[in-house]
Amino acid sequence: MLNEVAASGWICELGAGTTVTDWINALAALIGASAVLFGFITASSKFSEAQASARALRRSQIAEDLIALSHNTDDALRNVRSALQTTLREKVADKHYLFQKQHDKLVEYNGLFERLREAQIRARAVIGDDDVEASVEVFFIVRNRVSIANIMLAQMVDESDSHDDETRKHEKELRGDLCAHYGDQDELSKKIEAAVKTIELKLSPIARLDNLK
C-alpha cells in the first residue's frame, strides 16, 4: 500500500523535462505496487474463506456426531426400558432380579451418556442452538427418571401387598417410567422421539454443509 502511494506521488511530481524512460519507470512502479496490493487483498480473502470453511467443517462434524449419538442413546433407552425382559429359571423367585438387571443395563450405557454430554458441550460452544441443547437434555432427564423408578420400585416390591390406593397409583406411574409401552400413554418415549426429531431437523443442514453449497 505504501509502495502504491509512493509511486503515485512520484508520478504527480513528473512534469516538464521528464523523459519517456521516467514515465515508463513510474508506470512500472505503480503497476508493481498495485499488483502487491491486489495480491494482499486476494490472499486475505482466501485466508478468510479458508477460515470460514474450517469453521463450517468443524460445525459439520460436531453436528454429525451429535445426531449419531442421539440415535444411539434412543436405542439404548429403548433397550433399558424394554418390557420384553426375560428371567432366568433360577431367578423366578427373586423379586429384585429384573430391577437389578435393568440397573446393570443403565450402568452399561454410562460411557454412551458421557460421550453424549461431551458432544452436547461441543455443540453448545460451536453451534449454540437452544432447541438442540434442550433436546439433548431430554435424554438425561429420561435416564434419571428411569433410574429413580427402578430404585423406588425395587424398594416397594417387598411391601406390595400392603400398599394403599395412593401408593398403588404412584407405583403405576413409576412403572410407566420404568418400562416402555405402546400407545400415547408412554410419555417418556414421546419425549425421546420429539428430541431426536428436533436434533435432526436443526443439525442435519449443518452436517450436510448446506450453507456451502
| pLDDT for residue 52 | 62
Whole-angstrom distance, CA of residue 133 vs CA of residue 196: 12
Provide the CATH number for the domain around residue 84.
Answer: 1.20.120
The pLDDT tens digits of the residues spanning 23-46 come to: 566 666 666 666 666 665 665 665
Pair 132, 198: CB distance under 8 Å:
yes
Same domain flag for 97 and 181? yes
Q: pLDDT exceeding 70 applies to what percent of the chain?
A: 65
Pair 199, 70: CB distance under 8 Å:
yes
| pLDDT for residue 10 | 47
Same domain flag for 62 and 89? yes
| pLDDT for residue 2 | 42
Pair 30, 8: CB distance under 8 Å:
yes
Helix locations, 127-186, DSSP H = 130-156, 165-178
Pair 77, 142: CB distance under 8 Å:
yes
Residues of the chain predicted below pLDDT 50: 1-5, 7-11, 14, 16
Domain enclosing residue 96, as ranges: 56-212
User: Between vectors from CA 67 to CA 85 and to CA 65, what angle results, nearest 5°?
Assistant: 110
Same domain flag for 13 and 72? no
Same domain flag for 99 and 202? yes
Same domain flag for 30 and 111? no
Same domain flag for 93 and 9? no
| pLDDT for residue 93 | 57
The pLDDT tens digits of the residues spanning 97-127 come to: 888 889 999 999 999 999 999 999 999 999 9
| pLDDT for residue 7 | 47
Residues in the chain: 213
Domain count, the chain: 2
